[in-house]
Amino acid sequence: MQHSGKVALVTGGSSGIGQAIARRLTRDGASVAVADVADAGETLKMLAGAGREGFSAPCDISRGEQVTGFVEQVRDRLGPPQILVHSAAVQFMRPFDELSLADWHRTQAVNQESMFHLLKAVLPGMKRTGWGRIIVLASSTFFVGAPAMTHYVTSKGALIGLVHGLAAEVGPFGITVNALAPGLTRTKKAVADLPEELFRHVASLQCIKRSGTPEDQAGVVSFLASEDAAFITGQTILADGGQGRT
């Protein structure tokens, strides 16, 4: 129960990697609040099954007023967030010459600009208590590229830049800031949207010859949120099975 007494805020926790993170943090002792535009009822049932009360409410994290209101509700229900995990993302494939400005803006707003609103809402509390863990989900696509996903890769690269800058600023307050860059992960959405051949091909390029799972990523997040990771900050951890290093 390494996170006992801690309150975690997880964006995008209604499904996929975000849901696995919410479950793992709960299992490890945290009280978890899920911010998502989608219904998080399934996640809340999972958290209750782990013996802890969770909290969720509809929240478009690209809108500052909704983030502020959500964090106020979290403080009232669970306490001030001490762990922030940003997992929510807009992700779709579209060649750049077919990409609209609206597509670009929406991707940036949800994937990286939302961190401005989230940090404004939670950083003051972390500074007051002298402890905090900020973890953002970047992507291995930033390092290897991805056709028809320039908008997505750009947004994830911006998060890595945020980690580098913010870590130096908030370290004196006992706050760490890190990024986790997952490789191709076998979420329900990915399985529905992508051909099985792609999973097999990517696995063949990895040192570990299997597809990644949401639980693979959740374990890393729980570690980065723990006291064991107190001296790790400003880092981007690739959890991609060693893709391209065979």
CB 16 within 8 A of CB 10: no
Pull the structure tokens for residue 190. 């990915």
3-state SS, residue 104: helix
19: left (phi over 0), alpha (psi -120 to 50) or beta: alpha
CB 28 within 8 A of CB 1: yes
For residue 130, the tally of other CB atoms under 10 A from its CB is 10
Catalytic residue among 152, 153, 184, 236: 152
Active site residue 152: yes
3-state SS, residue 103: helix
DSSP secondary structure, 122-149, as one string: HHHHHHHHT-EEEEEE--THHHH--TT-
For residue 102, the tally of other CB atoms under 10 A from its CB is 8
Helix (H) or strand (E) holding 180: strand 175-182
Q: What angle do CA 225, 228, 233 make, to 5 degrees?
A: 60
Give me the active site residues, please. 152
